[in-house]
Structure 1
Amino acid sequence: MDSPTNTTTQNPSSVPGTVPGFNHSHAIISSLLSFPNSSPISIGSSFDRELDKALASASGDVSAQDSLVDRTLQLASLLLDSTKRCFRKRASVHNFSTWFLPPELTIKVFSMLDTKSLMQAAACCTMFNSCAMDRSSYAHIDLTTATRQADSGVVCVMIHRAGKELRSLKLGRVARSDGSDSTPSLLNGSFLSPLSYNHGFLGSRLRSLRLYNIRPINYTSFIEVLSVCSNLTDLRISGLKFPGMLLFKKLTEKCRLIENLCLEAYQVPGTTDTNAGSPLIDFVTNSYNLTSLTLISYRLTDGLALNLAESSSKLKYLNLSRSPTLNGRFLRDLGHSCKESSLETLIMRNCYYLQEKEVLELCNSLIKGKFKSIRHIDVSSNSGILSNNGARIYKPKLPLEKLKEERSDVTFVADFPLVRSGKRYRVCDEGAEEELREIEMMEANNVGGSEDESDDEEFDDDEDTSNGTGEDDSEGDLEF
């Protein structure tokens, strides 16, 4: 005879792996979620009645009532948080299914954003956050639009997030303060130190480094960082104080792949002649990939300027604007001596002591068919040009029409606007974002940027233009 079937219900707490009360809690939550569809007022009234009953049952114990209210608030908060998490998960699944770009292309797009915009995109949704945390999204770090928030700690975090994907780094304030905003730079001397970690592994990944008006900058520390950036091809520093020849010496030793060098200095003591500037000449001579050289506000002699133009076999773009010492004597020699030169663009805007006779001599050399490589020359100035008798004139007698007939392949810009004309070149002593954009635009048009940067650059045309994630995510999210 078969034994009778045991119909006794097993205690949930005795089931291996089951937390006591779990099934009971699950049943209550399931019952709550399956609550009949009623008006919010009706549901709220039901909650009020049940809570009042519970409080009434403990009417004699105030602490028990307080505990009950606190516990109810905690449960309600947990339910709200859980609901929000479920909502975000559903929204994330929806975004992944409806977003028209695959993750790899989304990451590529994100890598083209400035870092502030990237952080804002990361806060939009879980899907964007996932793509924004990818190392490749930080390949090109641009913190020039977040100067009020980007301190040394933020820069270090971004460099670590990029890791081995790091290719370019832009820091500082592109547009200088006009006096109304005197906020000091949040960057100190150690903001580039992560590039030197692990024997300079991250520094060796860097291709482009651009620093704008970071003052004061620890010159010694910066030189040491350059020592590990052996694969640097693009270096631009605006607002460099007292740029010594040690910089060019270090570049010659450690950064032999430089293609584009742009230095804009201020408060340069003394005039740099050929002897004093020999490290600069050595750099130009030994940098076999150098195609673009910009030295703004450098006190150069004409002899040194001529040596620079003649020293490089690949130099196509030379910008010596705002030099307070050049008179243009090297221009006549340039027209006669550069027979095999590769120089295509020469910019000398706002050179205060530039002389009319020297520019005229260059024009005549071009008309005679010399200096065959040149394609673009700009000697425009807000302050006019010095005539033969030393007077400052705004309408020099230059044979530009004849030059245009004889050398249609050459664009010669010699614009000296009067103050009353309303047109003023923004290449001034204080500098401006407009000037830097013009410099980059001219270089891009005449030389072409480095491969990693070519897709990032945007320039504004206006009427004045003539010319990483670490090994862990402990850093948390940064807000800009």
Structure 2
Amino acid sequence: MDPPTTPTQNPRSLHTDSIISSLLSFPASTPFSVACSFDRELEKALASASDDASVQDRLLNRTINIASLLLESTERCFRQRAAAHNSISWVLPPELTIKVFSKLDTKSLMQVAACCTVFNKCAMDRSSYAHIDLTTDTIQADNEVVCTMIHRAGKELRSIKLGHVTRRYGPEPNPIWFNGPFLSSLSYNHGFLGRRLRSLRLYNIRPMNYSSLSNVLSVCSNLTDLRIVGFNCPFMPLFMTLSKTCRLIEHLCLGSYHPLDTIDTQRGSNLIEFVANSPNLTSLRLIRFRLTDELARILSQSSRTLKHLNLSRSPTINGRFLRDVRNSCKESPLKTLIMRNCLKLEEKEVLELCNSLIKGNFKSIRHIDVSNNRGLVSDDGKRSYKPK
């Protein structure tokens, strides 16, 4: 039996190679004339084809496919050349390269993986996906993408950032909508992947209710950092879940999508219990919460480890709780207190706070922010921008 004919022995392949070789030999200085030639020849081919529109459509589709094949071949050659270059010039060993890649956001990691085979091999390592960041605006993240990233990370999974981040200035970002079970991959193998997670940050995710979020947190018992911004359900039941399953929390940041009901000491009992019984909690941020001053006072005094307290954008706090904080601050570990843009914050309370600072009563405090874009509430009910 004759040996199979190879592409180089096939006259038809030789003819194809000759045509492509002629195409690649076109002078680079005449792109316009080459484009005109393409237009003319394509118009001739269409004119000589059948009057049947479907035949002409097939001709155009075949032309597009040929152009796509040329583009794909060019990209393959480019990656091969890049791989050859990077294998010589890239000075970092694979283990350090993987560490560098693990610091990239997921979009950048995907771009790196597409550069060349050298980078692709490192980018496919589990450690490169230890810190999943899908907060880039151009990334269209959905359940399938998130699931793929989590399973690529496997046992190396450490942190997840997901959603559209709220900027300090500018309009509110559009929420990201997810279909199906939210972050269900973390429950894989009886929550093995969830227990690997140390940091979870969710920004403006829809739909996300207490039930779905509770299911996620129930398998994330080793979380030390939790940030949820744009949550559109009451937070109070969430603190009960955190008290039971996430006892290692060090940094907690919760941002309400819009102010809900006022939270007093009775309604906020789960919050008080969580703060008082979290031995590692050092930072608490409750943004846009309708807290009473009494509850704010208890939060600032009930923890032996809390160093950073942020109650910004609260529409209810007037600052009277600061009087008690001043008296107890000598024994408090609190170092940072932020109440930025609190609508009802009173001028006289801020002045008393400043006087205490001058007298040295706040020796543990290192940073206080009571700035307000709309000014402070003065005794006559007007807004004051320059407290006196």
Specify the TM-score bucket, using the shorter chain as the normaliser: 0.7 to 0.9
Q: Deviation at 1:88?
A: 5.6
CA distance in 1, matches of 2:375, 2:124: 53
Say whether residues 1:312 and 2:303 are aligned partners. yes
Say whether residues 1:160 and 2:160 are aligned partners. no
Structure 1 contact 107–136 (Cα < 8 Å) conserved: yes
Aligned to 2:259: 268
Aligned to 2:48: none
Look up the equivalent residue of 1:95 and give its one-letter code: N
Say whether residues 1:199 and 2:180 are aligned partners. no
CA distance in 2, matches of 1:337, 1:82: 72
Structure 1 contact 234–260 (Cα < 8 Å) conserved: yes
Whichever of the two has the greater Rg, that structure is 1
CA distance in 2, matches of 1:275, 1:181: 33
Structure 2 contact 164–204 (Cα < 8 Å) conserved: yes
Aligned to 1:377: 368
Runs of 4+ more than 6 Å apart: 80-87, 176-181
RMSD, matched Cα = 3.0
CA distance in 2, matches of 1:356, 1:25: 87
Aligned to 1:410: none
Which secondary structure state, in structure 2, belongs to the residue aligned with residue 339 of structure 1? helix
Structure 2 contact 225–250 (Cα < 8 Å) conserved: yes
Look up the equivalent residue of 1:297 and give its one-letter code: R
Q: Deviation at 1:372?
A: 1.8
List gaps (5 residues or longer) in structure 1: 1-12, 14-19, 34-39, 45-76, 398-480
- Give the alignment partner of residue 176 of structure 2, picking from 177, 185, 204: 185
Using structure 1 for the length normalisation, give the TM-score. 0.64
Q: Deviation at 1:171?
A: 0.6
Aligned to 1:253: 244
CA distance in 2, matches of 1:94, 1:258: 46
Equivalent residues in 2 for 1:169-180 (5 A)? Answer: 169-175=160-166
1:446-475 superposed Cα distances (whole Å, 9 cap, x missing partner): xxxxxxxxxxxxxxxxxxxxxxxxxxxxxx
Structure 1 contact 188–217 (Cα < 8 Å) conserved: no
Aligned to 2:331: 340
CA distance in 2, matches of 1:174, 1:82: 38
- Give the alignment partner of residue 331 of structure 1, picking from 315, 322, 330: 322
Structure 1 contact 150–186 (Cα < 8 Å) conserved: no
Structure 2 contact 198–222 (Cα < 8 Å) conserved: yes
CA distance in 2, matches of 1:210, 1:313: 25
Shift in alpha-carbon separation, 1:147–1:203, aligned structure 2, 3 A: farther
Equivalent residues in 2 for 1:283-302 (5 A)? Answer: 283-302=274-293
Aligned to 2:111: 120
CA distance in 2, matches of 1:118, 1:339: 48
CA distance in 2, matches of 1:349, 1:96: 51
List gaps (5 residues or longer) in structure 2: 15-20, 26-67
Q: Deviation at 1:85?
A: 7.0
- Give the alignment partner of residue 135 of structure 1, picking from 113, 126, 134: 126
Aligned to 1:99: 90
Look up the equivalent residue of 1:149 and give its one-letter code: Q
Structure 1 contact 344–374 (Cα < 8 Å) conserved: yes
Aligned to 1:401: none
Shift in alpha-carbon separation, 1:115–1:311, aligned structure 2, 3 A: same
Look up the equivalent residue of 1:150 and give its one-letter code: A
Using structure 2 for the length normalisation, give the TM-score. 0.79
Look up the equivalent residue of 1:157 and give its one-letter code: T
Structure 1 contact 147–185 (Cα < 8 Å) conserved: no
Look up the equivalent residue of 1:313 and give its one-letter code: R
CA distance in 2, matches of 1:265, 1:27: 67
